[in-house]
């Protein structure tokens, strides 16, 4: 799971921060971790949570199986 928090949309929506490059890095790290630790799973999923917390509002977006 990847969680991104932003206080405003000045630099974009929090979900936009999970770029293809970031996704590739997370996949690579997960592969390395699972290879080193040995657990076996038939499937894996990566969820992304975006939190936008400005002064007046809190918005949480959860994308299951995002990539």
pLDDT of residue 58: 96
3-57 pLDDT, tens digit each: 999 999 999 999 999 999 999 999 999 999 999 998 888 888 999 999 999 888 9
Distances (CA, A) of 61 to 28, 53, 58: 24, 11, 10
Estimate to the nearest angstrom the gap between the alpha carbon of 42 and the chain centroid: 21
19: domain range? 2-63
Residue-wise DSSP of 42-57: S-----EEEEEE-SS-
Show the tokens assigned to 19.
């770029």
Give the number of domains in the chain. 1
């Amino acid at each position: 799971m990847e969680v991104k928090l932003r206080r405003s949309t000045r630099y974009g929506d929090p979900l936009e921060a999970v770029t293809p490059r970031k996704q590739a890095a997370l996949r690579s790290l997960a592969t390395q971790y699972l290879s080193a630790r040995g657990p076996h799973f038939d499937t894996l999923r990566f969820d992304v949570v975006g939190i936008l917390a400005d002064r007046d509002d809190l918005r949480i977006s959860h994308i299951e199986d995002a990539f």
